[in-house]
Amino acid sequence: MSSSIWNGNGRRLRLCEVGMRDGLQIEPVFVPTEDKITLIDALSQAGAAKIEVTAFVSAQAIPALRDGEVVMREIARRPATAHRSA
């Protein structure tokens, strides 16, 4: 195995981050809104092409995503990153 960085041979790798939506909805403890915004902004700055930020669902069904509207409004937007909700 080579220790060099993969150069892609001219191909582009497009990553879609879904941890903010899929991962946080199963956490037993509510992750503070400010922490979600900070993490999403860091993922954007790292160059993620697409981030599934939240899902607009019943707060009774999935309490962890009850702040989705605030998170979508407050995140920093980068033109190279698609920020989506489910």
Contact present, 72 and 83 (Cβ < 8 Å):
yes
Which structure tokens are listed for 38? 């900070």
Q: Tokens 């980068």 label which residue? A: 78
Instruction: List, for residues 11-23, the tens digit of each pLDDT value.
Output: 776 777 888 888 8
Q: How far apart are CA 61 and CA 25, in angstroms?
A: 10
Tell me the per-residue pLDDT of 33-57, one tens digit each, with 9 for 90 and over.
999 999 999 999 988 888 999 988 8
- What does the radius of gyration of the chain's CA atoms come to, in whole angstroms? 15
